[in-house]
Amino acid sequence: MAVKRMDNVAIVVEDLGATIEFFKELGLELEGRADIEGDWSGRVTGLAGQHVEIAMMRTPDGHSRLELCRYIKPEIAADHRNAPVNALGYLRVMFAVDDVGDTVERLRKRGAELVGEIVNYQDVYKLCYIRGPEGILIGLAQELGSNG
């Protein structure tokens, strides 16, 4: 059987509220928040006694979601927030945007920092990486039309 779809990507954060506001500024919609705990949840993740507060963020087209997770129990085991872009594991989430420059400026007000620079890739895309709240690495891509 083939995969039907990808439901979401989860990102563990410390400050759930600030991260929600950051992704809302990017254009995602808060679909809902919930506390997750109980025997069943620990059996799924392998973390007995876990308690997690989650927020589900949905892209405007409704096809993709980010699950933002703040672990209350157990304590955070590792911190990869400042890993360079060539570190093993999760690299980044890429979002298609209307205007990369405008998006970067709006997100800077929420603490985003440009990793390198905004580049023109073969007159097809304007691309950049930014670090959002808690060092989350995010890619932004603006498709260039005939107006470039």
Cα distance between residue 62 and residue 57, in whole Å: 10
Q: What is the pLDDT of residue 1?
A: 64
Collapse the DSSP code of 92 into the 3-class scheme (helix H, G, I; strand E, B; otherwise coil) and give the result.
coil
Same domain, 66 and 97: no
CA angle 136, 140, 31 (to 5 degrees): 65
* Paired sense of beta strands 119-121 and 93-96, if any: unpaired
**pTM summary value:** 0.86
Report CA torsion sign: 19, 21, 22, 27: positive
* Paired sense of beta strands 93-96 and 137-143, if any: parallel
Same domain, 30 and 62: yes
Q: What is the pLDDT of residue 70?
A: 95
Same domain, 69 and 99: no
Query: Does residue 85 lie in a domain region?
Result: no
What range does the domain containing 27 cover? 9-73
State which residues of the chain have pLDDT below 70.
1, 146-148
